Amino acid sequence: MDFAKKLEKSENFAEIFDLVKKSAEATLDKRRDGLMLALQYLPENLGAYYGLGSNFIVMNKALLEKFDEAYEEKDTKAYVFSVLLHEYLHSLGYVDEEFARALTYQISKAVLGEGHMSTKIAKHGIGAFINPSARSMKGQQHENLEVVDSFSIEHITYIG
């Protein structure tokens, strides 16, 4: 499977997450279903989180918007892939943060190649591409979660 081409052609969170699951399955022979995605304004030093034992990945809406403003659509998709892969690995039981980071890099490199933006994000961290601060961009870090219905963004236009 050409993961890079499929990622570039993806149209929503669901398609990107499907690639995340397939990449983990291809490299680790592990898979988990039943996860949901929510967006929330969080402090910018937190890209996303997965609550152990939960079925939610929560992505930082402020960083997603900031990345989307600074980069092309294909790069935003690469950012989403990297963040979702990292949190998906936590959901698979890889709870050590440093190990999950290293594994995110290894998987990204294996399925997308060393030069792909997702791999670069996994290797260098988001701070190498945008300047996250310790505060939320809009000061709304306690805003309610925005659940992404059916893990689909047909009604949300953050990518593109």
* 138-147 tens-digit pLDDT: 545 456 778 8
Q: Per-residue pLDDT averaged across 24-32, rounded?
A: 95
Distances (CA, A) of 70 to 21, 75, 86: 27, 9, 22
pLDDT tens sequence across 65-114: 999 999 999 999 999 999 999 999 999 999 999 999 999 999 999 999 99
Q: What is the pTM of this model?
A: 0.87
Give yes or no for a contact between 8 and 117, defined as CB atoms under 8 angstroms apart.
no
